[in-house]
Amino acid sequence: MNARPRRRTWLAAAAATAALALAGCATVPEVRTTVEPGVDLAQYRTFAFYSPLGTDRAGYQTIVSQHLKAAARRELEARGLRYDEAAPQLLVNFNAALTERVRVTPAPTLGYYGYYSYRWGLYGGWPLVQQEVTTYREGTVNVDLVDAARKQLVWEGVVVGTVTQKAIDDLQGSLDEAVRLAFKRFPIAPAASAPAR
């Protein structure tokens, strides 16, 4: 098998898995947004999706991309932008990553347990410090808005959170929430008539 198709398949699988990472997190996701200095995002009226999306590197559209597109379209249309594939002023792109992380937490022990329990009540040794080591999955979803004419990134939303089994089980809900959290910091608020979420 050619290494190139394997790499593409791996990238697509990694992107799809990574996008699971966000909402439904045990902790509150971290959200960061950046706007190009001097750009008024209210000037844009139309949008479409970049092709191929960063989450579609294997030559086909992933389920993750389908969910991200639906969520982003809902958020942008709620802010008065119109989907126009023929003449978009903004192009929307996504990326996703899933990373295994290790957390080490020092925890001093006050008593003796396990092997050193024979010392209990007789004499003290050196102070013991136990370390609790846990692994967890961290997911990142990026939403990029690109000025189509200038080919310039004008807004970026990044959502980073711990992936739980609940988030994996509810892929669509997790991705919807990640996109909602990113657009919650978009400079243009949803129209008053848009349904509250």
49-91 pLDDT, tens per residue? 999 999 998 889 999 999 999 999 999 999 999 999 999 999 9
pLDDT one-digit tens code per residue, 123-149: 656 565 667 777 878 899 999 999 999
CATH number at residue 179: 3.30.160.670
- Integer-rounded Cα Rg, in Å, for the chain is 23
* pLDDT the model gives residue 109: 55
What domain range is 157 assigned to?
Answer: 22-102+137-183
- In the chain, the number of structural domains is 1
The strand ranges marked E within 69-169 are 82-83, 90-108, 129-147, 152-163
- Report the mean per-residue pLDDT for the chain: 82
The strand ranges marked E within the chain are 30-35, 46-49, 82-83, 90-108, 129-147, 152-163
pTM, entire model: 0.72
* pLDDT the model gives residue 108: 57
